Amino acid sequence: MRKITLRKTTIAMICMAYPSVSYLQPLPQEKSEPITFIAQIDKIDIGKTAIGKDMKLLLADRFYFKSKTPCNRDTLSARPQSFGLTPKAYAEKIRSLVPAVLDDRYFYFTVDQCDGEGTSMLTDIEICTEALCGAEYMKKSLYIWLNGEIKATVKRRAELFVELPLPFDKEKKLWKVVGWYIEPQEGNAGKKRMAFEGYTDEESFKQQRFIGELKSWYKSGNISGTANYNHEGNLQGRYDAYYDEKDKKAETAVFANGLINGEYIVYYKNGAIESQRQFVDNKIADGECPHYYEDGSIKQQHSYLNQHLEGPAFEYFADGKIKEKSTYRQGKVVGEKIIYFPSGQVRLIFHKNDSGNDDGVSEEYSEEGKLISTSTYKDGKQLAKKSWYENGQLKQEEIFDSEGRRDGVAKEWFANGQINTAVSYKQDVKDGSAEEWQENGQPKSLYLYKNGKLDGESKYWNERGKLLYTTMYKDDKKNGPDRRWSENTGKMIEEIDYVDDIKNGMKKTFNDRTGKLLSAVPYVDGDLHGTEETYGPDGVSVIRCYRKNEQLAALYKPTEITNRANQGDAAAQYELGKYLLTCTDSAAGMAWLEKAAKQGGMKEAAEALRQYKKTENQN
């Protein structure tokens, strides 16, 4: 049933949730004369950056003001250290200011400086009092701010307002209360829209208590509700709620001292009755409770006893055919529950025990009357499940233990009868093999599980049954060789070892036609680290050395370079020496560079030696 409320509108609100953040340690601050001022806070941004007196970045909160500060800007920053508080105490203080910020109150601020190094920091904030700020900043509010439920709130979260002081009605001996929407209806800028009108016995309207008649309106001007309140402020007598269309009633009820007593009616927009119920002291009365479609035809039939659904219950399609039938006992469905297609064909059959739990075999049928699934239950716990295709072929089969957990092999089939998946479970957790096949009968994948985690060698095939890759797992992580094969030739094209999901060892790639090694790339803890070898028709074509993903050097045609170096080729000696010095063997590298330098004309080798020795001496 609808409350006596007004439709809510979406308005902008400030989110002031204060996060748990860590602030940098306080820096020594130069003493300066504090500056004080009075202002209103527009908003606070939590966890922004500021600049310390040492010109380093700090984590701070940024305050935005509705007017310029003495520092000639509309923002200042604050942090626990500037307030001399712990992070927890500072956060609590900022939270305590939020209601006053949202109510546009004035604050008394202290700031450390305006012209010094770094960002100006607030050192204290207090909500204005008359003694602290003066009477001009403590003017009594001329408005009461309300939310859509006609309850007091802060200004920035309000949807409605009431102007003060309230006029006193001498005849009624009550104060008249008129509520207005904060934002006018679009196209009526500057024109106030009345939200509600009523009376109260409190001059301040502090409790938002109504006495007598209350009327409320939508922003459109259409009436939204009428109600009456007794002298205790409780609903009394007739209550009517309306759709946002002229005089179209939505609900009607009768109240006695705040409780529904009598008939409660719900209407469609066309005026037809959707439901009609009787209440006693807010409790639904015993008896039938029909519901209707907009054309007046029956939609639901059920009865209540001791505030619970009791006895036969029916739901109907708009054409009058039964949609669902069941039996209730103390608010729970017991016995057989049947759901139908619009054609009248049975769709679902459930069986419930006296506790309202599924018990026995539940059946699902196609619209043509073919059985497409069964589920077996015992006191709400599933024991088995089967489903079929329209052609009668078994589609799915699952087995459960006495606690309703999947246990054993769950299988699925294609419509042609070919097995699709077979997954082993133990107490609802994958344990054993999980296999999948192509519709043509070829294997697609194989995964091995232990207590819900991948454990063992997994395999994956293409639709022609050719193996594409294998991966070893341990405790749900890659551990061991990971191998890939060519989809075209079936030859291995890649191999690498993993340790706890991280590459470790040589990643080898192979020619998909000849099977010859193309490259060997070293990994250590996931990083390229060591010597990579790339192979050509005549052997190793290039070697590269890495340190933590950074390439340090490369040597092309290393076999040829080594042979030429041994034959006295100074250029080859220089290339080989430079590579060895940088990558693998500094002593051998120096020896080759010295040989190259002694032959004369190899200034590069001499310079490389000089630079290396200089670096060694510095170290």
pLDDT tens for each residue of 41-98: 999 999 999 998 888 889 999 999 999 999 998 999 999 999 999 999 999 999 999 9
pLDDT value for 26: 44
At 558, the pLDDT band (50, 70, 90 cuts) reads very high
* Residue 18 pLDDT grade (very low, low, confident, very high; cuts 50, 70, 90): very low
390-394, 453-457, 615-619: range with lowest mean pLDDT: 615-619
Which pLDDT band, with edges at 50, 70 and 90, does 7 fall under?
Answer: very low
- At 602 the pLDDT is 62
What are the φ/ψ torsions at residue 395 (nearest 5 degrees)?
Answer: -105, -45
What Rg, from alpha-carbon coordinates, does the chain have? 41
Beta strands 394-399 and 408-413: pairing type? antiparallel
Q: Which of 217, 280, 266, 213 is nearest to 2 (CA)?
A: 266
DSSP structure class, residue 368: T
Confidence of residue 5 (pLDDT cuts 50, 70, 90): very low
- Dist. CA 112–CA 330, nearest whole Å: 70
Alpha-carbon span 550 to 545, nearest angstrom: 8
Q: What separation, in Å, do the N-terminal and C-terminal C-alpha atoms of the chain show?
A: 84
**Cβ-contact 377, 357 below 8 angstroms:** yes
Cβ–Cβ under 8 Å, residues 363 and 371: yes
Helix (DSSP H) and strand (DSSP E) numbers for the chain: 7, 47
Q: How far apart are CA 532 and CA 359, in angstroms?
A: 66
Q: What is the pLDDT of residue 24?
A: 38
Orientation of helix 603-618 relative to helix 586-598, angle to 10°: 140
Peptide bond into 165 cis (omega under 30): yes
Of 249, 311, 269, 265, give the one whose Cα is nearest residue 286: 311
DSSP state of 30: -
User: What domains lie within the chain, and their CATH numbers?
Assistant: 35-137 (2.40.50), 286-388 (2.20.110), 529-618 (no CATH)
DSSP 169-216: ETTTTEEEEEEEESSPPTT-TT---EEEEEEES-TT-TT----EEEEE
The rounded mean pLDDT for the chain is 90
Tens-place pLDDT, residues 461-485: 999 999 999 999 999 999 999 999 9
Calculate the dihedral angle through the C-alpha atoms of 200, 204, 209, 210, rounding to the nearest 10 degrees.
20
* pTM for the structure as a whole: 0.68
Banded pLDDT at 605 (limits 50, 70, 90): low
